[in-house]
Amino acid sequence: MRRRPALTALHQAMQGDTVLVVEDEPVVRDLIVEVLADLGCTALRAADARAGLARLRAPGRIDLLISDVGLPGGPKGREMVEVARPHRPDLKVLFITGYAENATFGTGPLEPDMRMIAKPFSVEAQAARVRAMIAGLD
C-alpha cells in the first residue's frame, strides 16, 4: 500500500511509538490502525474495554491510547482509563466520539492529558492529533 503523501514526513519521527486502539467497530478500528502504520507507529488492537484493560495492565510501552467513548458491554472508554491509571499514570488518551467534540462525559471534563476528536474525522486530522499528543505538543 502506498503511503499518503501528507503522512510520509511524519513516518520517521514516529517510528517506534506504540498506540493502543480500543474501538468496537472493526472498520473504524482498521482505518485508525492503517493511519498509525502510515505514521510509523506500532498499533495494538482491542475490540472492547476488557481487552483494552488487559493490554494496559500488561508490561510494555504504550505511548498513546485511542479509545471510543461509547464502548459496548462493560466499562466505557473513560471508565477504562480510570481503572488503568494506577498502572499507567502518564498515559495520554485520545477519545473518539460520534457526539460533540466539546462534550463532558463520565466523571466530568477531560483531564489535561486527554483529548477528543469527533467522528467523522479526516485522516489528516487524526494524524496531526496523534503526532501532537505523542510529541507532547497538544
In the chain, where the domains are located: 5-135
By DSSP bridging, strand 18-22 and strand 64-68 are: parallel
Question: What CATH number belongs to 5-135?
Answer: 3.40.50.2300
Q: What is the pLDDT of residue 98?
A: 81
* Structure confidence by residue, pLDDT tens digits, 20-43: 999 999 999 999 999 999 999 999
CA distance 33 to 110: 24
Cα 46 to Cα 84: distance, rounded to the nearest angstrom: 14
Give me the sign of the Cα torsion angle 9, 12, 14, 20.
positive
What percent of the chain is predicted at pLDDT more than 90? Answer: 56
Q: Count CA atoms within 13 Å of residue 104 on its CB side.
A: 4
Tell me the average pLDDT of the chain. 85
